[in-house]
């Protein structure tokens, strides 16, 4: 099971421990003092060390100190004479995981050994899982070989490495802002800590505040007990502020203060709590024009946009549509245990599409195609009707849109028309519409709010 080193000067006790733990299935090595212990432990790997404290030459405490100085990290249990708790405390300070009083109780010994070994195992497994996750979000997790995507990855790398610099991700809906944020986090020195995403557009101001900063017991009627907020939960890690452009102005002030002071106050609380997080913000609206319109605070903009990264829309990623289609095909085939293939003729149609919903739209389409493919083959006839004829907006209905004046206003008019038409076609069903036009539900919700679209 585990390999254990026993360091004990009394031969009798060494022998008893060895017999007992060998019977439990462990592999035991023994030595009579700290000096020998150091030699053993630098020569081979151990899962656990059990050491006496009173020993000739190098005693137990010196032994632990030495291990620490050598950078050997192995969990240890110290054995101490009955009553000398102070030395045990000293040993725990030096990193011992537990202590046992002498005379030894063998059942006690087994219990402590098992508990430390299983704690160890869970920690190992967690590390492994995190590594796998990191692998998934390695920069290579951003699929694409077009020059714009290569440039994007090169831009993200140093920002990830730094670990502290605030990054603002700007890109149309579905261009992979969240994916890029995760790539930054999981490739940063903070990768072992949490990545927490919060959608700043989805919550009303008061909820957003208690969500971000937490609240003290009694801060408001429903605050039955103190709750920590996202800032505190993400401490040491990264906080992804999604749709930052939709954050209410009042909240922007509070966020800026937290950013500048690196400290937060829970709702209803008076004491400042220090937090250390990296901020990654994302927006699908051009924040600078929001600043000009007075809808976004300039000081907050500068604070968040220390480094700005633009995510290119899919239509500018030359050659990536095919690659991404195959990537998603592989993904959904494996998720759905299918073996669907795609006919070459389909690609030219895909490459001519406008992809307003970008990579998400493509991903959703591929999922649909895998599900609906007859005879495990995607051909032109598998593509949805609406896809073949473009979107359901007709030229006649486009005529009604006011396209004079400023570009931004014209675009908003178009978006309003487009979204309300699609919503109408889906009887106001937001999820369905979002999927169809290739944006996230939350983006659609904020668009509906922002553009004052009626859901009827
Ligand atoms: N380059 C890429 N390679 C592989 N998958 C990608 C890539 N870019 C995006 N995706 C996938 O596309 C989907 C949408 O990406 P993501 O959620 O990161 O976009 P977003 O910009 O945050 O969208 P929104 O503005 O709608 O919130 C996700 O499933 C993501 O994994
Ligand atoms: Mg997103």
Contacts of 86 (CB under 8 A, 6+ apart): none
Nearest CA to ligand 1 atom 3: 143
User: In terms of Cα–Cα distance, which of 205, 231, 202, 207 is closest to 220?
Assistant: 207
Average pLDDT of the residues in 354-374: 94
Model pLDDT, residue 397: 59
Ligand (nearest to CA of 182):
1
Please answer whether residues 52 and 60 qualify as being in contact, where contact means their C-beta atoms are separated by less than 8 angstroms. Answer: yes
Atom of ligand 1 nearest to the CA of 179: 18
Nearest CA to ligand 1 atom 15: 176
User: In terms of Cα–Cα distance, which of 62, 75, 74, 72 is closest to 33?
Assistant: 62
What is the Å distance from ligand 2's center to 285 Cα? 12
For the beta carbon of residue 221, count every other beta carbon within 10 angstroms.
6
Q: For residue range 36-91, list pLDDT tens digits in order.
A: 999 999 889 999 999 999 888 888 899 999 998 888 889 999 998 766 778 888 88
Any idea how long the chain is? 456
Q: For residue range 12-35, list pLDDT tens digits in order.
A: 999 999 999 999 999 999 999 999
Please answer whether residues 283 and 180 qualify as being in contact, where contact means their C-beta atoms are separated by less than 8 angstroms. Answer: no
Q: Hey, which of 136, 147, 178, 319 would you mutate to test ligand 1's pocket, going by the most ligand atoms within 8 Å of its Cβ?
A: 178
User: In terms of Cα–Cα distance, which of 143, 150, 146, 135 is closest to 327?
Assistant: 143
Model pLDDT, residue 318: 84
Angle between helices 60-70 and 34-43 (to 10 degrees): 30
Q: For residue range 74-88, list pLDDT tens digits in order.
A: 999 999 876 677 888
Model pLDDT, residue 298: 96
Q: For residue range 163-202, list pLDDT tens digits in order.
A: 999 999 999 999 999 999 999 999 999 999 999 999 998 8
What is the Å distance from ligand 1's center to 435 Cα? 13
Give the binding-site residues of ligand 1, using a 6 Å CB cut-off.
Answer: 142-144, 171, 173-179, 284, 327, 359-360, 363, 439-440, 443
DSSP code per residue over 382-408? GS-HHHHT--S--HHHHHTS---S-HH
Asked if the model's pLDDT at residue 111 lies above 80, the reply is yes
C-alpha 112/C-alpha 126 separation (Å) is 21
Average pLDDT of the residues in 424-450: 87
Average pLDDT of the residues in 103-128: 81
Omega cis (within 30) before 119? no
Task: For tokens 């939350």, name the residue.
Answer: 442
Ligand (nearest to CA of 180):
1
Model pLDDT, residue 290: 93
C-alpha 161/C-alpha 214 separation (Å) is 30
Percent of residues, the chain, with pLDDT higher than 90: 53
Nearest CA to ligand 1 atom 8: 176
Atom of ligand 1 nearest to the CA of 173: 25
CA distances (Å), 412 to each of 55, 175, 197, in order?
80, 20, 27
Q: Is residue 234 classed as helix, strand or coil in its secondary structure?
A: coil
Q: Hey, which of 359, 436, 443 would you mutate to test ligand 1's pocket, going by the most ligand atoms within 8 Å of its Cβ?
A: 359
């Amino acid at each position: 099971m585990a390999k254990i080193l026993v360091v004990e000067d009394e031969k009798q006790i060494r022998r008893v421990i060895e017999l007992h733990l060998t019977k439990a299935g462990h592999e035991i090595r023994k030595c009579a003092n700290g000096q020998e212990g150091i030699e053993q432990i630098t020569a081979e790997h151990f899962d656990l060390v059990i050491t006496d404290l009173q020993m000739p030459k190098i005693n137990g405490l010196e032994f632990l100190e030495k291990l620490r100085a050598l950078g050997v990290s192995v969990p240890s249990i110290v054995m101490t004479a009955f009553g000398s708790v102070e030395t045990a405390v000293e040993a725990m300070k030096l990193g011992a995981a537990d202590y046992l009083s002498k005379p030894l109780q063998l059942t006690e010994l087994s219990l402590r050994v098992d508990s430390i070994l299983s704690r160890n195992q869970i920690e190992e497994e967690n590390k492994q899982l995190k590594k796998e996750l990191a692998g998934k979000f390695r920069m290579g997790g951003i699929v694409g070989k077009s020059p714009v995507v290569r440039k994007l990855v090169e831009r993200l790398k140093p920002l990830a490495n730094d670990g502290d610099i605030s990054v603002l991700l700007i890109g149309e809906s579905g261009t992979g802002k969240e994916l890029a944020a995760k790539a930054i986090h999981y490739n940063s020195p903070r990768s072992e800590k949490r990545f927490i995403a919060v959608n700043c557009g989805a919550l009303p101001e008061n909820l957003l505040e208690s969500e971000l900063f937490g609240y003290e017991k009694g801060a408001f009627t429903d605050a039955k007990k103190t709750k920590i907020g996202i800032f505190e939960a993400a401490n040491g890690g990264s906080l992804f502020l999604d749709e930052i452009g939709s954050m209410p102005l009042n909240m922007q002030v509070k966020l800026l203060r937290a950013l500048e002071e690196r400290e937060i106050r829970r709702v209803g609380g008076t004491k400042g709590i220090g937090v250390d997080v990296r901020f990654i913000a994302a927006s699908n609206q051009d924040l600078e024009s929001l600043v000009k319109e007075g809808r976004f605070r300039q000081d907050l903009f500068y604070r968040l946009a220390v480094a700005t990264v633009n995510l290119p829309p899919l239509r500018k990623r030359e050659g990536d549509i095919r690659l991404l289609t195959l990537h998603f095909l592989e993904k959904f085939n494996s998720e759905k245990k299918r073996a669907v293939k795609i006919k070459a003729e389909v690609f030219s149609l895909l490459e001519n599409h406008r992809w307003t919903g970008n990579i998400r739209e493509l991903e959703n389409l591929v999922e649909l195609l895998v599900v609906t493919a007859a005879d495990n083959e995607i051909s032109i006839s598998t593509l949805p009707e609406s896809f073949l004829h473009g979107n359901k907006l007709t030229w006649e209905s486009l005529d009604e849109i006011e396209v004079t004046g400023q570009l931004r206003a014209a675009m908003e008019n178009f978006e309003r028309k487009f979204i309300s038409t699609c919503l109408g076609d889906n009887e106001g069903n937001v999820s369905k519409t979002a999927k169809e036009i290739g944006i996230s539900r939350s983006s659609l919700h904020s668009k509906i709010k922002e553009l004052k679209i009626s859901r009827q």
